[in-house]
A = this chain, B = another copy of it.
Amino acid sequence: MSAPWRPWMQRALQLAALGSGRTSPNPLVGCVVLDAAGQLVGEGFHQRAGTPHAEVHALRQAGERARGGTAVVTLEPCCHHGRTPPCSEALLAAGVARVVVAMRDPDPRVAGGGIAQLQAAGIEVVEGVCEAEARQLNSAFIHRVEHGRPLGLLKWAMSLDGRTALPNGSSQWISGPAARARVYRLRSRCDAVIVGGGTVRADNPLLTTRGERTPEPLRVVISRSLDLPAQAQLWATAVAPTLVAHGPEAPAERRQQLDAAGVERLELERCEPLALLEQLAQRGCNQVLWECGPDLAAAALRQGCVQELAAVLAPKLLGGQAARTPLGDLGLVDVNQAEPWQLLGLQPLGADLCLQLSAQGSS
């Protein structure tokens, strides 16, 4: 009987979403605690990695009223000692009689172990309540745990005729202010924002959320040979952290310039999107935003580093045989090789349209 728990789980999901963009490498988790009579006595959500989990916040608020009651949690409670003690133990100590969870934690350190521990202690566990919504909420965390790399979101703004710049390279501004504000919000959902060296050279971007997320996402430049300008907004790391990934072939002199400027460097054995994402996963990134030019975008797609697209379409015609387009070569020889993407949403942003899509079958 999962139906009576759905409204409480929906509230727990709302709570979980309040941590959006701030919990990585952890998932978003929300919890409500009901007393034995079914009255709401506690609410909580996970606010930031290293701080108490959702269950702890909600149980603290409930106090003694949790005894004999029900905890409704968006994710299976953890059963391992991480930076905080296991939540399964906190639930046992609080004396709840029942735990309702939306989905099992795919983290191999949990993976059903939390539920087993609760059941072994005689607690009733109800699973699968609002599971689809819970999986959607934590799609980035799930993707990172299951694939060992963050979920990739590729974003571009183009004209109605598919151009991201004029033949002379001019691209400011194809989209309007509402679409640009939307990009700040997209960044705020992500743990890192990635560009290539060409974008740094051409646009000298700032790549922050303009305060929508604190701390700002990690700004990442991937540049095989470190052919980068000496002066760039990205080198001012007091505004936001910056990481420059490069290949083994990067000259010592250019490495030293970045080191002297206080910019973090990361040498990759193969300076490619997949290798970068594996490193970013190890740094706790659940989701990254690709804000790069056509060649890096195409390389990221070819290496399976893009699961979602956000395409802003401006109602203008730019034209031009030599004008830049969103993607470089994908190696297709037949149109039928192009897998259809699934349209998730279509949002008017001033005069522009933002299309959100996901790869079919991606999680």
Contacts and interface: CB of A to CB of B under 8 A. Distances in A.
Interface of A: 158-163, 166-168, 170-174, 294, 298, 301, 309, 311, 313-323, 325-335, 338-343, 346, 351, 353, 355, 357
Q: A interface, by DSSP: helix, strand, loop or mixed?
A: loop
A321 B323 CA distance: 10
Given A171-B335, A338-B316, A326 B166 contact: no
Q: Which of A168, A298, A317, A341 has the largest number of chain B CB atoms within 10 A?
A: A317
Contacts of A173: 335
A161 B160 contact: no
B330 A315 contact: no
Contact of A321 (B167, B170, B329): B329
Given A161-B162, A343-B353, A346-B353, 9 more contacts: A159-B162, A166-B332, A166-B333, A301-B317, A313-B313, A316-B339, A318-B338, A322-B329, A346-B346
A273 B59 CA distance: 74
Nearest to A338: B316
A334 B165 CA distance: 9
Contacts of A322: 329
B170 A357 contact: no
A159 B317 contact: no
A202 to B, nearest CB: 14
A314 B341 CA distance: 9
Contacts of A357: 160, 315
Contacts of A342: 315
Contacts of A168: 333
A95 B159 CA distance: 57
Nearest to A336: B173
A335 B162 contact: no
A229 B317 CA distance: 32
Contacts of A298: 319
A330 B167 CA distance: 10
A161 B316 contact: no
A334 B166 contact: yes
Nearest to A301: B317
B319 A167 contact: no
A174 to B, nearest CB: 6
Contacts of A163: 162, 325
A21 B170 CA distance: 42
Contacts of A158: 161-162
